[in-house]
């Protein structure tokens, strides 16, 4: 290797990095890859999802500061670097009809202008590989969808000295590959569900599978399966660090670790763009990059 391998994971909120691709990042860190998480918002409008912390007045009044500290802890656990883009959480609108998004929030920003902040991070870090969400956001949170939009613009815009002048945004750079996180996929969920039932255990996925059957959801193309089971414990530890967002006794952790490792030892991605030659399916986000590094 003559060039440092670098991976950038673009996420909407603090905690997204620990629930989507965390074991993959920890694996690459262990191999000497330089990994940077870019977090678009501070999670200011996120709800307290851990029932053990609900009703805590201090946390409710200082949610931004609390979530920043949680992100600091998760970052240390994963061994990654992390940068904030500084946008304001849009919140998840609920109701029928849906209420308007709050003024000044991330999802209402001009896409090209907002992408400029990410262009600056790409040009500074110079990642060969970038990961983010698909056009549906993974799920339809307005910040996840906006994260997809600005990443798509920035992936090409980082190499455009006209749209994003070098004097303001730094020297141009073109990443080689762009992936969508697809960890919450039907094959994985079905395999874990079936394994638990076969072992006479309760499955937390029955309702998930039923909702999938009743929806018109189209399954994504899982192009890349990264073996990373040895890092599942690190993934879970990082997720638990986001104490306001996850209940350590909740559904996320009901599948025994030994079952997870045996039945589904990979994390999945969808290759969206590649400017290097690669053959599918892959087991490495840097396939085609390593050969040219």
Question: What are the residue boundaries of the structural domains of the chain, listed by start?
Answer: 6-185+221-292, 186-219
Please enumerate, by residue number, every residue annotated as part of a binding site for Zn(2+).
Answer: 13, 16, 144
Strands across the sheet containing 6-11: 81-87, 34-41, 6-11, 129-132, 177-181, 266-274, 224-227
Structure tokens at 135: 């056009």
Q: Which two tokens stand for residue 153?
A: 């613009």
What was the pLDDT predicted at 142? 97
Q: Which two tokens stand for residue 37?
A: 């998480």
- Residue 173 burial class via C-beta count within 10 angstroms: exposed 0-12, middle 13-18, buried 19 and up: middle
Instruction: Provide the pLDDT for residue 2.
Output: 54
What's the confidence (pLDDT) of residue 1? 46
In this prediction, residue 95 carries a pLDDT of 83
| pLDDT for 98 | 85
Q: Known binding site: residues?
A: 13, 16, 144
Q: Within the chain, which residues score under 50 in pLDDT?
A: 1
- Phi, psi of 83, rounded to the nearest 5 degrees: -135, 145
> Residue 94 has what pLDDT?
87
- Cα Rg, the chain, nearest whole Å: 19
According to CATH, the topology of domain 6-185+221-292 is Rossmann fold (3.40.50)
Residue 176 in contact with residue 6, Cβ under 8 Å? no
């Amino acid at each position: 290797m003559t060039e440092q391998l670098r991976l950038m994971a673009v996420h909407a909120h603090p905690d997204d990095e620990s629930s989507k691709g965390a074991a993959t990042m920890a694996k690459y860190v262990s191999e000497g890859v330089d990994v940077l998480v870019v977090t678009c918002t501070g999670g200011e409008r996120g709800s307290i999802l851990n029932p053990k912390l609900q009703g805590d007045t201090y946390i409710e009044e200082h949610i931004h500061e609390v979530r920043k500290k949680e992100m600091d802890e998760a970052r240390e656990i994963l061994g990654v670097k992390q940068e904030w883009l500084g946008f304001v959480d849009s919140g998840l609108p609920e109701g029928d009809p849906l209420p308007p998004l709050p003024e000044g929030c991330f999802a209402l920003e001009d896409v090209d202008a907002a992408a400029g902040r990410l262009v600056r991070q790409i040009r500074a870090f110079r990642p060969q590989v970038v990961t983010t969400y698909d056009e549906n956001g993974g799920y339809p949170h307005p910040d996840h969808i906006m994260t997809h939009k600005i990443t798509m613009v920035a992936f090409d815009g980082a190499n455009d000295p006209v749209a994003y002048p070098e004097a303001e945004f730094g020297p141009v750079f073109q990443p080689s590959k762009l992936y969508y996180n697809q960890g919450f996929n039907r094959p994985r969920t079905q395999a874990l569900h079936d394994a638990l039932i076969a072992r006479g255990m309760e499955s937390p996925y029955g309702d998930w599978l039923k909702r999938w059957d009743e929806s018109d959801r189209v399954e994504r193309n899982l192009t890349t399966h990264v073996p990373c089971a040895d890092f599942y414990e690190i993934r879970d530890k990082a997720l638990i660090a986001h104490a306001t967002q996850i209940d350590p006794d909740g559904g996320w952790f009901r599948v025994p670790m030994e079952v997870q490792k045996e039945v589904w030892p990979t994390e999945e991605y969808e290759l969206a763009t590649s400017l290097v030659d690669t053959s599918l399916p892959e087991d490495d986000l840097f396939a085609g990059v390593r050969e040219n590094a």
